[in-house]
Amino acid sequence: MGQQVLQGQLHTLEFEQIFQLSQGNLKEALVGELKALGYKPKSRKGYLYASGELPVMLIAHMDTVHRQLVQHICYTEDGTVMMSPEGIGGDDRAGVYMILRILQEAKCHVLFCEDEEIGGQGARKFERSSIRPEVNYLIELDRRGGNDAVFYGCNNREFIKFICGFGFGEARGSFSDISIVAPHLDVAAVNISAGYYNEHRQHEYVRLDQMEENIFRVREIVLTSTERFAYRGLYSSPSTGSFWGEEMTLWNMRFNSRKEPQPLMELSDNAHLMMGSHEMGGGRSHYIDKRGHVYLYLCELSAAVLIDGAYAYSDTGEPLTFDSKLAQDIRVMEYDEAMELLRAG
C-alpha cells in the first residue's frame, strides 16, 4: 500500500529492496541500476561514482546504523509512513531511492558513499581519489524531516538563497558526506531532507509523501540553469572569495567562538562510545554533557565538538550519567568551524 504514494518505479531494483539489502549488496545492485539508466559507474573501495551530464552531483550514503537487516516493512493505513521492527534505515536508504528517481529525468553526477555513519569513511576515500567532476554545486539527500536545508560550513549566501527559493528552510547540522566532499571540490553544497525521522533508533520511520515531494523539488532545482557556486567557508571573504577574510587569522578565530563554555564531564577509559549499533574507536578525550550528548575534545583548538548521534555506555550497557562534580567548563565549537580551523592550521 505504501508504494502507491510513490510516483515512479526503478529499472532493476524494487523499492523495498533498497531498505533490505546489506551495504555491500546494495552497492552491487546500484551498479546495475545505474547502468540501466545509461551510466558507466565506477565502483571503488568506499564509494560508487558515476559521471553525468548536468553540472550537479547528488550524494547519499549506503550504510545505516542498524545491526539487523530489514526483514519486515510496515505501512500506516493511509500508506504514507513506513517503518520496520528491525529499524527501517531511512537514514540514508531514503536518500538513495530519491536519487535514483531523480536520475531518471536529470542525468546528474552521482556519488554513493559507504560508512558515513562511522565518520564519513567513504567520502574520505573519494577525497583521496583523482576524481574531480566539474559541477556547479552538490546536493546530499541525508537530512531528517521534510523541509530542511543544511549547509554546514558552506557560507555562500547566493547558493543558500537559491536553494531556499524552492521552499526549503535553512537549518543547522553537525556532519554529512558533503562536509568532506564540498571543500575538497571547492563547490557549495547542501544536505536536504529525505523524509526520515527518529534516525539511529529502532522506531525510525519514513514519510513517503515527503520523499515524493522532495524528489520533485530537487529535480526542479537541478534542472534550473545556474552558474557555479563556490565553496565559501564560514569565515571566507565575500569580496575575494578567499578562505579567510583578510583580517581573520587562525589565532583570532581560535578565541572568537560564539558559544560560552559548557560544563562537560570527561569519560573514563572503559567507557563505550556507540553510534547506532557501531562502537566508535577511542584515541582522544571524550566528554558528555548533562543530557548525555557526547563531545570530542580537540587539543589543537582547546575546544570540544558535538558528535551527533553518539552515546556513552558503561561495561554493563547502562547509559553513562553526567556528574556535575566531575565536570569542567570547556569551550564548544560547531563541527564545521572546527574542521575549517584544523584545515587552515
Query: What CATH number has the domain bearing residue 92?
Result: 3.40.630.10
- Domain shared by 167 and 298, yes or no: no
**pTM over 0.85, yes/no:** no
User: In the sheet that 272-275 helps form, which strands lie side by side, from edge to edge?
Assistant: 278-279, 272-275, 310-313
- Domain shared by 209 and 255, yes or no: no
- Domain shared by 163 and 22, yes or no: yes
- Domain shared by 55 and 103, yes or no: yes
- Domain shared by 55 and 150, yes or no: yes
Last residue of a domain, one of 204, 222, 240: 222
Residue 78 lies inside a defined structural domain of this protein: yes
- Domain shared by 44 and 174, yes or no: yes
Residue 230 lies inside a defined structural domain of this protein: no
Cβ distance 287 to 295 under 8 Å?
Answer: yes
Residues 6+ apart with CB under 8 A from 241: 230, 232
Residue 229 lies inside a defined structural domain of this protein: no
State the pLDDT at residue 344: 65
Give the distance from CA 185 to its chain's centroid: 17
Dihedral angle of Cα 200, 185, 132, 147, to the nearest 10 degrees = 40
Give the range of the structural domain holding residue 84, as residue numbers without chain letter.
Answer: 2-222
- Domain shared by 195 and 308, yes or no: no
State the pLDDT at residue 317: 77
- Residue 11 to residues 5, 183, 209, 221, 311, Cα–Cα distance (Å): 18, 34, 21, 23, 39
- Domain shared by 96 and 216, yes or no: yes
The whole-number mean pLDDT for each consecutive block of 10 residues of the chain, a chain of 345 residues, reads 74 96 98 98 98 98 93 95 96 98 98 91 95 98 96 93 97 89 96 94 94 98 98 56 33 44 88 70 74 85 83 82 91 79 67
Residue 238 lies inside a defined structural domain of this protein: no
- Domain shared by 34 and 172, yes or no: yes
Number of structural domains (the chain) is 2
- Domain shared by 176 and 285, yes or no: no
Last residue of a domain, one of 222, 240, 272: 222
Q: Which three cell numbers stand for residue 238?
A: 565575500
- Domain shared by 148 and 275, yes or no: no
Cβ distance 80 to 40 under 8 Å?
Answer: no
State the pLDDT at residue 229: 98
State the pLDDT at residue 240: 34
Q: Count other C-beta atoms under 10 Å from residue 3's C-beta.
A: 14
- Domain shared by 272 and 200, yes or no: no
Cβ distance 298 to 305 under 8 Å?
Answer: yes
Residue 287 lies inside a defined structural domain of this protein: yes
Q: Count other C-beta atoms under 10 Å from residue 283's C-beta.
A: 7
